[in-house]
A and B are shown apart, each in its own frame.
Chain A
Amino acid sequence: MGTPPWRINEVLDRAQNGPICLEKDFDFKFLVPELQRVIKEYDICFDKSTPIPSDDSLADSLWKAAMDFYLTVGTLCTDTYRRIIFTENEIKEALGNFPGKYTLGFGRDSREITNRKIEDTRMPFCLFSPDITCDEDLFIPMSMAYLQEPLADGVCAPILDEIEGMPIRSGSPTEVKGSVAHAMMFREAARRVGRPGIFLKSVGTAESDAAQIAASNPEWGERLTDGRFVASISELKVNNSLLNKMVHFHTYGCFVGALMGPILGGFSGGPEGTAIVGLAYHLQGLLVNQAHFLNYFPFHLKYTCNTMRELLWVISMTYQSLARNSNLISLSNGFTAAGPCTSMVLREAAAHSLVSVVSGSNLWEIAVAKNRHKNFATPMEARIACEVGCGAVKEMISRNDANEITLTLLKSYEKDIETAPLGKSFRECYDIRKVKPSPEYTELFNTIRKELKDLGVPFIY
């Protein structure tokens, strides 16, 4: 089975010669009205009492709605004012040839990632990630802290916004320099923890195509066994720079991922529309971004997190729909409201991973503190998420049981989303020299872990 890439030149040709469409028309003549049409036509309804529905027919209706929607709307290339659209047969060809599993990383440290099914008994692939910028001197210790986590199958590094005392500016030489340093230091960190072959996701420091390309080097930088990601512009848009990255990654030969974050409250509207756009993004990821796997982080426009019930429903329904109707590989990326070293963040992380895993996803954990505060992330939040996710699989938790547990968890933190505590920075939570969590955070972690266990939250150990 040979996709992706799926006919790269077809995509490039359509980005140059597809039907002309101005961005405003794309939003208001295609995206918004078509979304409203399919929500009504396929009778998609959010039920706030059930963040994890067990209704297979809803999952299938959602898939049909998303296929119908994406076939009509497609993806806009904002630089060429063209819509990239596909036929149903083309989508089926790309989906039908998708292998559903890959081996990531190399040698002893390599791990398999697969498409997962609802209530799957196979363990999820756990990618640990801080998803935030850090001070330059923290880059190696913070990377090592994540890389040494036993449950980590792959790791994404923090992002640099300074290099050798200079601020990194997107599109400037400092970005190229910072991105090269990022790739080098990340590999050094992986070797220092004794996992040189672990799957590395990079280079978050590189926003531009030029900086991404500069970091590709099997000797010192990004290897063929690593994963590189192509983002989108909200919603369902790409540009030449993003397509440049896609072409480079495929011709270089590394794994390619797609970053997809439909916004609840934005053009996607409410939970129903956000789930449909989320599924359409998965099709775009396969066909336009040409991705081997997808990183999915629907989030709330105002609170920039996805642990409230509307978004847990979106996450659950997107994955149930994907699991029943495709072989695609996707990683569910949590975004919490609270920050490190708070009981709230540990509860939010547990809810996110539980919902994701029973619904059929792999894990990418976890952006915290509304994803906006430099140095505010530690592996402890990812650790609890992945312990719960793997625990749910080990205990063979059903969607119904997971739903009940999630409702209990929501009760404990939902009202505090808006005013969530920022918590403490990595420097405050970790002994940087020894790369060990502080006694304070360790104690809190153990206390909340016990509380969660008593509530019925499953754990792997």
Chain B
Amino acid sequence: MTIEQLYEALKNSIVEFKPEEAKQITKKLLEAQIDPLKVLDEILNPTMEEIGEQFDRMDIFLPELMGAAEAMRAATSVLTEHIKKSTITPTEVKGKVVLGTVSGDIHEIGKNIVKIMLEVSGFEVLDLGRDVPSLKFIEKAEEVNADVIALSALMTTTMHSQREVIELLEALGKRNKYLVLIGGNPTTDSWRKEIGADGWAETAVGAAKLVTKMIQEKVR
């Protein structure tokens, strides 16, 4: 296979969500002395961006999105291993996000989609799962030195847990250390303002764009 054919095959392995194939093709590209950062920037990231957009338009559905993300992770893990062993300077992670569905809430489909969109946008995501106690978000953020705490809530009776995390951050004197993003069907921008969160996103793609913007503005 030529390099161009390998590129095409790697793209197809993501689109057809074949993680093992994605791994093998990535290894072949590295054996052919292709720069791993080029594979990431020119093949993997644009492919996942396109898949994310297709999902946003509902041309494809959650199983396809998650399958493609799994294949993307498989390819990325090969690249990361290679970079660690080499002298190449890795692409800087855009930021670390601690993510979870808030205390009392067992819904996590939306949160899982946000996780994928953040990962493909270059963020490292620490997913705490669902029904996460408020303090645990802060403990994890402290442990991994996170940039963002992202809180999902699907119930009107669990939205208040988003406020609780912010109140805890304030009480612990750590509010300014983290950007707090909220989301979930019953939440709105006016709720964000009411509880003093930094950002609210209506969709998963919107969440990834917003976090990127929020971090850029914070750095500036």
A175 interface hit (Cβ, 8 Å): yes
Which B190-219 residues have C-beta < 8 A from chain A?
203
A266 to B62 Cα, complex, angstroms: 5
Inter-chain contact A234/B160, CB cutoff 8 Å: no
A-contact bits for B163-180, CB 8 A (1 contact / 0 none): 110000000000000000
Inter-chain contact B203/A302, CB cutoff 8 Å: yes
B46 interface hit (Cβ, 8 Å): no
User: Taking A304-B185, A372-B188 as contacts, is the C-beta distance between A133 and B156 under 8 angstroms?
Assistant: yes
Inter-chain contact A207/B58, CB cutoff 8 Å: no
Q: How far is the CB of A134 from chain B (nearest CB, A)?
A: 10
A370 to B186 Cα, complex, angstroms: 9
User: Which one of B23-31, B72-80, B99-107 contacts A?
Assistant: B99-107
Inter-chain contact A207/B155, CB cutoff 8 Å: yes
A61 interface hit (Cβ, 8 Å): no
B109 interface hit (Cβ, 8 Å): yes
B157 interface hit (Cβ, 8 Å): yes
Residues of A within 8 A of B158 (CB): 169-170, 207
Which one, B63, B186, B203, contacts A32 given CB within 8 A? Answer: B63
A421 to B158 Cα, complex, angstroms: 26
Q: Return 17 A-B CB contacts under 8 Å, by A number.
A: A133-B186, A170-B105, A171-B104, A205-B157, A207-B155, A233-B106, A239-B106, A263-B109, A264-B61, A265-B61, A266-B62, A268-B61, A269-B61, A301-B58, A301-B109, A370-B185, A372-B186
Which one, B66, B67, B157, contacts A168 given CB within 8 A? Answer: B157
A170 to B132 Cα, complex, angstroms: 12
B-contact bits for A203-243, CB 8 A (1 contact / 0 none): 00101100000000000000000000000011000010100
A167 interface hit (Cβ, 8 Å): yes
A108 to B161 Cα, complex, angstroms: 43
A-contact bits for B104-124, CB 8 A (1 contact / 0 none): 111101000000000000000
Q: How far is the CB of B182 from chain A (nearest CB, A)?
A: 13
Inter-chain contact A267/B185, CB cutoff 8 Å: no
A240 to B185 Cα, complex, angstroms: 24
Inter-chain contact A161/B109, CB cutoff 8 Å: no
Q: A170-B161, A302-B203 are in contact. List 17 more A-B contacts (CB 8 A).
A: A28-B63, A28-B66, A32-B63, A133-B186, A170-B155, A170-B158, A171-B103, A171-B104, A175-B157, A205-B157, A207-B157, A208-B104, A234-B109, A269-B61, A300-B58, A304-B185, A371-B185
Inter-chain contact A372/B157, CB cutoff 8 Å: no
A268 to B186 Cα, complex, angstroms: 22
Which A240-280 residues have C-beta < 8 A from chain B?
241, 263-270
Which A164-200 residues have C-beta < 8 A from chain B?
167-171, 175
A122 interface hit (Cβ, 8 Å): no
A370 to B106 Cα, complex, angstroms: 20
By a beta-carbon cutoff of 8 Å, the part of chain A in contact with chain B is 28, 32, 78, 133, 159, 161, 167-171, 175, 205, 207-208, 233-234, 239, 241, 263-270, 300-302, 304, 370-374
Inter-chain contact B109/A168, CB cutoff 8 Å: no
Q: How far is the CB of B129 from chain A (nearest CB, A)?
A: 10
A265 to B187 Cα, complex, angstroms: 20
Which B60-96 residues have C-beta < 8 A from chain A?
61-63, 66-67
Residues of B within 8 A of A32 (CB): 63
Inter-chain contact B63/A269, CB cutoff 8 Å: yes
Inter-chain contact A159/B61, CB cutoff 8 Å: no
Most buried by A among B58, B61, B104, B161: B61
A269 to B203 Cα, complex, angstroms: 18
Closest Cβ neighbor of B187 among chain A residues:
A372
Which one, B67, B107, B187, contacts A234 given CB within 8 A? Answer: B107
A371 to B160 Cα, complex, angstroms: 18
Q: How far is the CB of A301 from chain B (nearest CB, A)?
A: 7
Residues of A within 8 A of B164 (CB): 169
Residues of B within 8 A of A373 (CB): 188
Q: How far is the CB of A336 from chain B (nearest CB, A)?
A: 14
Inter-chain contact A170/B104, CB cutoff 8 Å: yes
Q: How far is the CB of B68 from chain A (nearest CB, A)?
A: 13
Inter-chain contact A168/B104, CB cutoff 8 Å: no
Inter-chain contact B58/A169, CB cutoff 8 Å: no
Closest Cβ neighbor of A168 among chain B residues:
B157
A266 to B110 Cα, complex, angstroms: 9
Inter-chain contact A168/B63, CB cutoff 8 Å: no
Closest Cβ neighbor of A300 among chain B residues:
B58
A28 to B155 Cα, complex, angstroms: 26
A116 to B215 Cα, complex, angstroms: 55
Which one, B62, B66, B160, B163, contacts A301 given CB within 8 A? Answer: B62
